[in-house]
Amino acid sequence: MSDRIEVDRLPWRRGAWRPSVGELAGWLTCGLQETKLLYAEADALRLREVGDEVHLRGLIEFSNFCVRRCDYCGIRAPNRAAERYRMSPTEIVTCALRAKEAGCGTVVLQSGEDPWWTTERLCALVRDIKKRADLAVTLSVGERPARDYQRFREAGCDRYLLRFETSDEALYARLHPDGTLVERLKCLEAIRAAGLQVGSGFMIGLPFSGVEHIARDILFATELHLDMIGCGPYIAHPGTPLAGAALIEDREVYFRVISLLRLLNPRAHIPAATAFDALAPSGRDFLLQRGANVFMPNMTPAVYRRHYMLYPGKPCVDEDAAACAACVRARIARLNRRVGAGPGHSLMSSRADAHGRAS
Ligand code: 5AD
Ligand code: FES
C-alpha cells in the first residue's frame, strides 16, 4: 500500500470522526510510524483550523491555601509540609500588568479553594484588572455555587477553568473525598450558563486507570464541546496518599492524547500544559508541534512559585516572571511560530458568536 493511500484512509480524514473507545485505545498505543503520522496530522489540522499563533496566558498562582483533600494534589489541606501563601490583591494586579507587558493577552488567576477569597474579593480583583489593562481574565478557583459564576461574569471575567479530572465516576469518588463527578459537571454547566468561556480537561495516567480510561476521557472532553481543553500528565507527589505512583511507561501516550484531542476538536484552544515540561525537558515545545496552540508562562512571583507545588518537578521554579516570559517567546520563535495578538478568545462557533468576539 502506498503512503498516499494510507493517508487517505486515516479515519479523521473521512469527515466527522466518531471513534469507539477501542479504536481510540488503539491509537493511544500505536507504533512508531503511526505515532509520527498522528503528530503530523494533528499539527497540520492545528495550522489549518487555529493558525500559527501561540496565545500566551500568563498564569498567576495567587494562593495555595486549599480546603480540599484531593488525593493527588500537593497543596491538599492535610499536607502540612506545604508552606502556605496568599498574594494580596495589589500584588496580583501588579503581576497582571507585568504579564500584559510581557505579551500575554490573558491572565489566568489560579488558586486552591481558599475561603479568604470570597466572591466579593474575587469580583473586585477582576474589575480592577479589567479597568487597568486590556486583558482577558480567566479564573480557576475551583467549585463554587452557580450564582458565583454569574457574578464573576458580571464583574468582567471572560473564562473559567475547571478540569473534570477523570470521567470515571468511581475513580473520581476514590480520588476526591470531598466531591463527586456529578457536582463537578454541574459546576461546568453553571459556568457555561453564566456566559463564561469554558476550559476543562483531565489528568492523563491517573492511578487505578488504564488506556481505556484515557480513551473515555478524550471522548468525554470532546462531548463537552469545550472552548479550551487542558490536559497534563499525572505526576505523583510525595506528600500525598498516592505517593510513588508510576508514570505510564510509554511516554508517547501522553503526547498522543493531545494529538487525538486536536483531531477530535479542530477549533478548541489546547494548551501545552506545564506538567509536560516535568515529563520531558522540551515537553511543551513538542506539544506545540503536535496539536497545541496555547502556552501558559508562569507569572507568579519567584518567592511564591516553589510553594504552588501541585506535583514535583514543576518547571521554571527558579525563574522570575520576566525570565519565563522571555524564555517562552524564544521557544515560540525557535518553532517558527508567532505570539498571538489580542486576547485569543474562543474559536468555537457558538460561543464566539455569543460573545461577538471571534470569527
Ligand atoms: N499531577 C498532575 N497534575 C495535577 N494537578 C493536581 N495535582 C496534580 C498532580 N499530582 C492538576 C489538576 C488540577 C490542576 C490545577 O492541576 O488537574 O485541576
Ligand atoms: Fe519558564 Fe522557560 S518557560 S523558564
User: For 299-352, what is each residue's pLDDT tens digit?
Assistant: 999 999 999 999 999 999 999 999 999 999 999 999 999 999 989 999 987 555
Beta strands in the chain (DSSP E): 53-63, 106-111, 136-140, 159-161, 197-200, 203-204, 228-229, 232-233, 271-272, 294-295, 338-339
Q: Cβ neighbours of residue 213 under 8 Å, at least 6 residues apart?
A: 166, 168, 171, 206
Q: Which three cell numbers stand for residue 302?
A: 519567584
pLDDT value for 9 = 84
User: What is the rounded distance in angstroms from the CA atom of residue 355 to the CA atom of residue 325?
Assistant: 29
Residue with cell 507527589: 237
337 C-alpha to ligand 2 centroid (Å)? 17
Q: Which three cell numbers stand for residue 169?
A: 465516576
Task: Determine phi and psi for 138, rounding to 5 degrees.
Answer: -110, 130
Task: Determine phi and psi for 181, rounding to 5 degrees.
Answer: -60, -35
14 C-alpha to ligand 1 centroid (Å)? 35
User: What is the rounded distance in angstroms from the CA atom of residue 114 to the CA atom of residue 75?
Assistant: 11
pLDDT digits 0-9 by tens, 4-20: 547 778 999 988 899 99
Q: Which of 229, 277, 230 is nearest to 251 (CA)?
A: 277
Q: Where are the domains of the chain?
A: 19-339
- Spatial contact of 331 and 291, defined as CB atoms under 8 Å apart: no
pLDDT value for 351 = 57
User: What is the rounded distance in angstroms from the CA atom of residue 241 to the CA atom of residue 206?
Assistant: 13
User: Maximum distance among all alpha carbons in the chain?
Assistant: 64
For the chain, the residue count is 359
Neighbours of 57 (CB within 10 A): 27
- Spatial contact of 106 and 137, defined as CB atoms under 8 Å apart: yes
Q: Atom 4 of ligand 2 has which residue's CA nearest to it?
A: 324
Q: What is the 3-state secondary structure (H, E, C) of 269-315?
A: ECEECCHHHHHCCCHHHHHHCCCCCEECCECCCHHHHCCCCCCCCCC
Q: Evaluate: CB of 73 within 6 angstroms of ligand 1.
A: yes
- Spatial contact of 213 and 168, defined as CB atoms under 8 Å apart: yes
With 0-12 / 13-18 / 19 or more C-beta atoms within 10 angstroms meaning exposed / middle / buried, residue 46 is buried
Task: Give the ligand with the smallest distance to the CA of 332.
Answer: 2
- Of 318, 328, 329, 335, the one to substitute when testing ligand 2's pocket (max ligand atoms within 8 A of C-beta) is 328
Q: Evaluate: CB of 235 within 6 angstroms of ligand 1.
A: yes
pLDDT value for 273 = 95
The mean pLDDT value of the chain amounts to 94
The domain 19-339 is classified under which CATH number: 3.40.50.300, 1.25.40.20, 3.20.20.150, 3.20.20.70?
Answer: 3.20.20.70
pLDDT digits 0-9 by tens, 157-215: 999 999 999 999 999 999 999 999 999 999 999 999 999 999 999 999 999 999 999 99
pLDDT digits 0-9 by tens, 37-68: 999 999 999 999 999 999 999 999 999 999 99
